[in-house]
């Protein structure tokens, strides 16, 4: 499954494109798919190199909290021991 990522616009670039910051990394994204104008400080949902939608700061904070909780759950699952496989039952012999 592919997920978009919420990022903050750092600077506008020609093209139209923008430099955005998501978590600890920056990336250049195309603004061609956006209907609304953006400015540095705005939040956008990005996927595959495109800014797809502008979101409010509250929506960005909510998305970040959900993503953080999902990351914690994934990490916890990865560190749990693998379940013990169920014993296999030999095939039943026909007694006729």
Task: Please name the residues in contact with 34: beta carbons below 8 A apart, sequence gap of 6 or more.
Answer: 44, 51, 52, 53, 54
Tens-level pLDDT at each residue, the chain (96 residues): 567 899 999 999 998 999 999 988 999 999 999 988 999 999 999 999 999 999 999 999 998 888 888 877 765 655 666 666 666 666 677 766
Domain boundaries, the chain: 5-70
Dig out the tokens for 14 from the structure: 């020609």
CA distance 48 to 31: 12
- CATH architecture classification, 5-70: Roll (2.30)
Say how many C-beta atoms besides its own lie within 10 A of residue 30's C-beta. 16
Q: What pLDDT is attached to residue 70?
A: 80
Say how many C-beta atoms besides its own lie within 10 A of residue 12's C-beta. 16
């Amino acid at each position: 499954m592919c997920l978009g990522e919420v990022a903050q616009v750092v600077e506008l670039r020609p093209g139209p494109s923008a430099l955005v910051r998501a978590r600890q990394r920056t990336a250049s994204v195309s603004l061609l798919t956006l209907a609304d104008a953006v400015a540095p400080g705005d939040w956008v949902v990005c996927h595959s190199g495109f800014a797809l939608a502008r979101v409010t700061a509250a929506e960005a904070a909510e998305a970040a909290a959900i993503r953080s909780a999902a990351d914690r759950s994934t990490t916890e699952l990865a560190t749990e021991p693998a379940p013990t496989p169920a014993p296999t039952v030999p095939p039943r012999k026909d007694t006729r």
